[in-house]
Structure 1
């Protein structure tokens, strides 16, 4: 049997998933967007095991998504707040929420933590980085020429 060469495509998505791609990570970020900043509240609202959530929060802090803010010295306790990088996850969270509502049978429709000044819910979309014009979701995405043939 011939061995197949494994050559994973390196990209920023893979790098991002190293920070936010573990189970419970984005749910923890969702809770902080909802204004839940303390560990016990995040555990309660996500259902994550305490030890696993502690590890995910450490990764999110180390990855620059969240920052810890001390609110008690004795015993030492921290709250979690979004950094600029964390706030920039809003479109990704909105996109996943929209996808779940549309494509996951029986998915509950919860409130969105993202609202416009008018009070309406915000939605994620794809826009041109140059002109700002909205674009429909892509079918096949044109990838830059990497010098490798597809499937090899």
Structure 2
């Protein structure tokens, strides 16, 4: 059975236009689901702060980067502040932006397993001591591994 969601056009371009208002995954993808937004968040986590740094690291066109930075600020994932030099603005992660760390890490680890040929060179994520970050493996309250066969969606109201 197909489900159609109908709504009036959103007059505020900064306000969310939910693909599926009841689904947390769909809402999240509406906020950060394009590759540029996630790459900007990734680079902010890796220390990028300036427009120039984001553009250099991602190769993104200036107009697209401007749009994504505005969107990420409007949705509370990045904040803009005056850089310590006082001469330009910089972008910093908010608490909500930092909360995407596990998402970025999970995407990274999936990519390490599935997006490279065996033996192909790729970057890795290490902790402050230089140790490879362990695989994320979701578990239940009792420590049992969770997966698609051991979970289901329940609607709340």
TM-score, with structure 2 as normaliser: 0.73
Q: Structure 1: 5+ residue runs without aligned partners? A: 147-152
- Number of matched residues? 136
- Give the C-alpha shift of residue 49 in structure 1: 0.8
Once superposed, which parts of structure 1, at least 4 consecutive aligned residues long, lie more than 6 Å away? Answer: none
Q: 2:98 & 2:33 partners in 1: Cα distance?
A: 16
- Structure 1 residue 86 corresponds to structure 2 residue 97: yes
Q: 1:136 maps to what in 2?
A: 145
CA distance in 1, matches of 2:59, 2:146: 32
Q: Cα–Cα, structure 1 residues 13 and 5, in superposed 2: closer, same or farther, change >3 Å?
A: closer
2:67 maps to 1:55: yes
1:111 aligns to 2:124 (yes or no): yes
Distance 1:88 1:5 in 2: 30
Change (3 A) 1:33 1:110: same
- Could you list the runs of 5+ residues in structure 2 that have no partner in the other structure? 6-19
C-alpha RMSD of the superposition: 2.5
Hey, which of these two has a bigger chunk of strand by percent? 1
Q: Give the SS at the match of 1:55.
A: helix
Q: Return the alpha-carbon distance in structure 1 between the equivalents of residues 130 and 66 of structure 2.
A: 34
TM, length-normalised to structure 1: 0.75
